Amino acid sequence: MIQDIYKEDEGTPHNAALPTDIAKTVLMPGDPLRAQHIAKTYLENVKQWNSVRNMFGFTGLWEGRPVSVMGSGMGAPSIGIYSYELYSHYGVENIIRLGTCGGMVKELELGDIVFALASSTNSAYAAQYHLDGTFSACADYGLLEKGVAAARSIGCRFIVGNVFSSDLFSLYSAEGSEGWQKWARMGCLATDMESYALYCNAAYLRKKALTVLACSDSNVTGHSLSAAERQTSLVNMFRIGLSFAG
């Protein structure tokens, strides 16, 4: 990939922002409406800088500290585009993915927070780097330490470990339960679809990334959070994400 093919004082085909519109730290939920909710509920002096393809982006202040929030869409290709441009064109240093996940181990209860220390995958995303092996995609340890401290400060349940970033939404996969169980056997705690691509981009561009997930469904039990319970768990995730402002 080319480092940056766009002019410094312009946006990109996917992002109408100018480089000065976006903070050094970006919170990145998958759902653009969730990004809008975070901005309108928690931030002050909010400015919206993107609505291209309805992928909303905002910058505001959390307790006087600047932070941006933008949707990533679903899957590696989508977060791959947005995070790459944020890092390479907009000078973003830190991206904190805020998402939901499907639990793959019995120890992970609904509503728990998962910090993705690393991400495994069935995606070919890393093929673009022409590596003679398999790349292990990892979080930035400094961001991970800060996130864990924030989780402890609010007293929420959390777990740290490897996650499985799949190109297939597990409920629709032809492999069915057999597929995720293989990854769980190797110690993967939960499944999402975006962490691997985000961590690859951060590594390639010498930037920082961390995925923070709320467990909304369990592959083990088949249970899901109710609407009220889901909202509570997301609030904890949002509070952890906002601790990175500034």
DSSP 3-state of 82: helix
- The 10 Å Cβ neighbour count of residue 9 is 8
DSSP 3-state of 71: coil
- What the block records as the tokens of 228 is 């009220």
Catalytic residue among 21, 112, 140, 217: 217
Say if CB 210 and CB 115 are below 8 A apart: yes
182-187: long-range contacts, CB 8 A cutoff, minimum separation 24: 183/104, 183/120, 184/104, 184/105, 184/219, 186/120, 186/162, 187/161, 187/162
Say if CB 179 and CB 121 are below 8 A apart: no
Q: Which string of b and e fits 38-50 if b means at least 16 CB within 10 Å? A: bbeebbeeeebbb
Say if CB 56 and CB 35 are below 8 A apart: yes
- The 10 Å Cβ neighbour count of residue 52 is 14
Burial of 10 (0-12, 13-18, 19+ CB in 10 A): exposed
Say if CB 69 and CB 82 are below 8 A apart: no
Residue 217 a catalytic site member: yes
Residues noted as catalytic: 217
